[in-house]
Chains A and B, each alone.
Chain A
Amino acid sequence: MHSSVKQTFSVLLTGVVLTCLPLISQAHRGWIMPATTVFSGEDPWVGFDAAVSNDIFIANHAPLRLDDLQIQAPDGSLVQPANTATFKSRASFDLNLKQVGTYKIATASGGLMARWETDTGERRFWPERGKKADPADFKTSVPKKAKNLEVSYNYRRVETYVTRGAPSQAALKPTNQGLELAPVTHPNDLFAGEAAQFVFLIDGKPAAGTNVSVVADGSRYRNNDGAREFIADKDGKVSISWPVPGKYFIEAEYSDNKAAKPAKTRKGSYSLVVEVLPQ
């Protein structure tokens, strides 16, 4: 029932703000937050906090795992963070912006996954939670038939961008794996009162119907998080306006049944932190 309602809405209100239905499952939110996003000068440094939390942006639950952290420099090369540390409720690291242009900071993980129940009702996962598995082991590790067997390609991506000098394009290029945001408006060129256009991609193709939720910083100090919800149009596009300057959390979810075998479903989740500056 819920999914058919959602379907109707996506047809009627493509790319329009929805306030009545929470389209994104309200699990904990993962984010990488830069202190600021726009830099001048010869040798700027920027600090990041990365966490999984309920409140935006308060690190009060768990650190974001940085095992898969990748930082792409303006020239396309991968660079290393400095002073990486994982604390009880957040992880932190620094980055020296040696090049002029835009850096992409991301963690991405996922791949083939399966879940099922044993005859006695025990839930099983492959790979086991928190572990990585070789896809070659799929046949030997996952039963062909089992109760509530669900096999999917499932990708998760958490990103942010920072820029020294003029914004550049190279680091914005998608990897074409999982759900990604391809900026039309540069993510480090956002100003209050202007609208930004973003295109969501699933495995490099427009992710029509992606559910997008936008939450302004300071959700802890409001009675509700004030999330604005959008649905990507047939080209995967959404247009998001910024009523006030500040930091914003953008979260997106997508799923379909166009997965390559042996999976049946394909799922992607994505989050991005942006900074919106005053006019």
Chain B
Amino acid sequence: MIVALDRLLTNSRRALAAGLCAGFTVAAAQAAQLDVSLELPKLAVAEYHKPYVAVWLEPAAGGNAVQLAVWYDSGKANRKGEEWLKELRQWWRRAGRTSVMPIDGVTGATRITGPHVLSFTAGAAPLGTPAAGDYVLFVEAAREVGGRELVKIPFTWPGNSPQKLNATGSSELGAVSLAITP
């Protein structure tokens, strides 16, 4: 109750600040931030294809997915790269199969091995404005003639203080971390 009241006050203060400082950076600086970092490991295999990767959020209690990133062979002729999207099996089930590709601001080309950082701001696409509550971050990777892996990180959005949560894949994904600044 106290927390809720506190947030209400904070929000009204923010609204006031936004109203007073329209056009300045103060309001933007206060929008909650969600950063995902994920590592695509270097693999000693004879035939390596860059993996397809999907990053999305779901309410912990179930509900619509918020898609944050999908990396696939988006540049192939005749949309041939879409043929393998189904191999991101959970993403395909939760979001992919009802999406029309490409998705503006979400889909992009496959990426090289190493760490990748993705930053999202509340109020802006593709994160939008998720309702406060419990969520799960999903990172799924699937590689042609390779394997598939799904890493999950449960979290609370936006929370009252900065959070840093970590998980590690064991085959197709390396370290995955989620940082939230409310």
Contacts and interface: CB of A to CB of B under 8 A. Distances in A.
A278 B82 contact: no
A277 B89 CA distance: 8
B93 A40 contact: no
Contacts of A55: none
B90 A279 contact: yes
A117 interface: no
B139 to A, nearest CB: 15
A279 B92 CA distance: 12
Interface string B58-86: 00000000000000000000111011111
Contacts of B93: 189, 191, 277
A41 B89 contact: no
B164 interface: no
Contacts of A189: 93
B101 to A, nearest CB: 8
Interface in A175-197: 189, 191
A278 B92 CA distance: 12
Given A166-B97, A166-B98, A279-B150, A40 B86 contact: yes
Contacts of A40: 82-86, 92, 96-97
Secondary structure dominating the interface of B: helix
Given A166-B97, A166-B98, A38 B83 contact: no
Q: Chain A contact residues: over half helix, strand or loop, or mixed?
A: loop
A279 B85 CA distance: 16
A256 interface: no
A124 to B, nearest CB: 52
A44 interface: yes
A276 to B, nearest CB: 11
A189 B98 CA distance: 13
Contact of B82 (A38, A41, A277): A41
A220 to B, nearest CB: 26
Interface in B25-70: none
Contacts of A279: 90, 150
Q: Which of B78, B83, B93, B97 has the most CB of A within 10 A?
A: B97
A39 B86 contact: yes
A165 interface: yes
B92 A38 contact: yes
A235 interface: no
Interface string A91-105: 000000000000000
B150 A41 contact: no
A29 B85 CA distance: 34
A165 B150 CA distance: 21
Given A41-B86, A42-B78, 6 more contacts: A38-B86, A38-B89, A40-B83, A41-B82, A42-B82, A191-B93
Interface of A: 38-44, 165-167, 189, 191, 277-279
18 contacts: A38-B92, A40-B84, A40-B86, A40-B92, A40-B96, A41-B80, A41-B82, A41-B84, A42-B80, A42-B83, A44-B83, A165-B97, A165-B98, A166-B98, A191-B93, A278-B89, A279-B90, A279-B150
